[in-house]
Amino acid sequence: MTIVEITDGHLRVVVEGMDKVLALKSTIEVPLAHVRGASSSPDALREPHGLRLLGTSVPGVIAAGSFYDGEWLFMDVHNRAQAVKIELDHEHYAALIVEVEDPAATVRTINAAVHGLGSGGWQGAPRDASDASDLT
135 Cα distance to chain centroid: 17
The number of domains in the chain is: 1
Q: Is residue 135 part of a domain?
A: no
- Half-sphere CA count of 96, side-chain side, radius 13 A: 30
Average pLDDT for 78-94:
95
pLDDT in tens, 19-51: 999 999 999 999 999 999 999 988 877 766 676
pLDDT of residue 47: 63
Q: DSSP alpha helices (H): ranges in 24-121?
A: 103-114
The reported pLDDT for the residue numbered 117 is: 53
Position 133 in a domain: no
Whether residue 134 is contained in a domain is answered as no
Q: Is residue 124 part of a domain?
A: no
Q: Is 50 exposed, middle or buried (0-12, 13-18, 19+ CB in 10 A)?
A: middle
Cross-strand bridge partners of residue 14: 3, 27
pTM attached to this predicted model: 0.82
Structural domain boundaries enclosing 77 = 2-119
Q: With respect to residue 27, please indicate whether it lies within any of the assigned structural domains.
A: yes
Look at residue 91 in the predicted model and tell me its pLDDT: 97
Say if 129 falls within a structural domain: no
Tell whether 125 is covered by a domain: no
